[in-house]
Amino acid sequence: MIPAAAYVELDINALRHNVGRVKELAPKSKIIAVIKANAYGHGLELVASNLAAQVDAFAVARIDEALRLRAANIQGRILVLQGFSGPDELLLMQHNQLEAVIHSEQQVDLLETENLPAGLPVWIKIDTGMNRLGFRPEQFSDVLQRLLQCRNVQAEINFMTHFANADDLQDDKTTRQLQLFNATTKGCAGLRSSANSAAIIAWPATHQDWVRPGLMLYGASPLLNQSARQLELLVVMNFYSRIVVIKQVKKGEAVGYGGSWVATKDILLGVISIGYGDGYPRYAKPGTPVLINKQRVPLVGRVSMDMITVDLTGHTDIKTGDQVLLWGAGLPVEEIAGYADTIPYTLLCGITRRVQVIVKK
């Protein structure tokens, strides 16, 4: 097969290494690998099948993602973070042995009124300050009692919460959320889970029975002031394309849509086959680096659907057809995210279907 211009190379050994880092950081906790949104753009089935032996459970956001995992013969525990929203989904979850996060009164009502062939494993989500999903602490004991008495619920009920600010080491909100979670569930039989990647790394007191790493599994840092390298995480996704053509642009000429970038001297321009149609961020600013032959060269002009342009002036060794790294080992996705006023999460999960996937084992 002729290689596509734009492709991601996924390093499975790096993925496995990063699970090992989670184990080193939280040695007493079980691991729920978070693989929602197509495993942060890395491929749901691919990531699940390669991690199944190393982790204790998977988490996805929605039922359709969990069903894809079952269809791919992933047989272990799968948490659905948004749970079910109607009787059909409830039955489907039970039928496929999925575990539901219970966060709303409607879900409890449904569990009490439906008639399932066997009990559903559930996790009660407590909202300790994120104000997104979950019961308020004052609702918790009532919900727990109802679920304990519900014949459609499996006996062991687990508890979870989610942190809003764990990536900010100066902010004591994480500590306050943890204290509220612990006080709310105090003395209740059941396992606890609160830590996302940032909390696994920065807030050891949050590790509890189960940790829920997402971003760090893919080798990106969730913390602003610490790089993946410093955290000993290895990059999984390397995003490549190549140079389509190299040409001269004269001083005073504009490059790209809108003509917003104008050459202030004669330059050598490289046109690269990558754009927002592949998931390269439309809002990457001029100056955003790409890596060619281990050299950083700056983006100039606007990102278009299929192409970007870079300034190759002075890089006489760079030729048409040369490989270009958009992000990956040696060019952190966190850094590119900074140039595009976004976070590494959006870049990773934004890779589109046009991009070829190459798996490096």
Ligand X SMILES: *Cc1c(COP(=O)(O)O)cnc(C)c1O
What is the DSSP annotation of 69-99? HHHTT--SEEEETT---SHHHHHHHHHTT-E
Q: Which one of 107-115, 134-142, 194-202, 290-298 is the stretch in contact with ligand X (CB under 6 A)?
A: 194-202
- Contact flag: residue 120 with ligand X (CB under 6 A): no
In the complex with ligand X, which residue's Cβ is closer, 22 or 290?
22
- 213 or 281: CB nearest ligand X: 213
Contact with ligand X (CB under 6 A) among 162, 207, 242, 302: 162
Structure tokens at 209: 């029975």
Q: Is 36 a catalytic residue?
A: yes
Q: How far is the CB of 296 from ligand X (least distance, A)?
A: 27
What's the Cα-to-Cα distance from 243 to each of 33, 270, 273, 350, rounded to whole Å? Answer: 36, 6, 6, 22
Whether 283 is catalytic: no
Of residues 3 through 42, those in contact with ligand X by CB under 6 A are 34, 36
User: Which two three-digit tokens encode residue 39?
Assistant: 């495993």
How far is the C-alpha of 105 from the C-alpha of 115, rounded, in Å? 18
If one asks whether residue 197 binds ligand X (CB under 6 A), the answer comes out as: yes
Contacting residue, 129, 222, 275, 344, with ligand X by CB under 6 A:
222
- Piece of 10-18, 212-220, 227-235, 241-249 that binds ligand X (CB under 6 A): 212-220
What tokens were used for 237? 């996704």
Query: Judged by CB under 6 A, which of 129, 213, 281, 344 binds ligand X?
Result: 213
Q: Report how far apart the first and last C-alpha atoms of the chain are (Å, whole number).
A: 19
Q: At what angle do helices 44-51 and 12-25 cross, to 10 degrees?
A: 60
Buried b (16+ CB within 10 A) or exposed e, 289-316: bbbbeeeebebbbbbbebbbbbbbbebe
**Does the protein bind ligand X through residue 194 (CB under 6 A)?**
no
Residue 21 Cβ vs ligand X, minimum distance, rounded to whole Å: 13
196 binds ligand X (CB under 6 A): yes
Catalytic residue, from 247, 251, 257, 360: name it: 257
How far CA 222 is from CA of 43, 147, 201, 284, in Å, comes to 20, 35, 9, 20
Note the residues at the interface with ligand X (CB under 6 A). Answer: 34, 36, 81, 162, 196-198, 212-215, 222
Q: Which residues are catalytic?
A: 36, 257
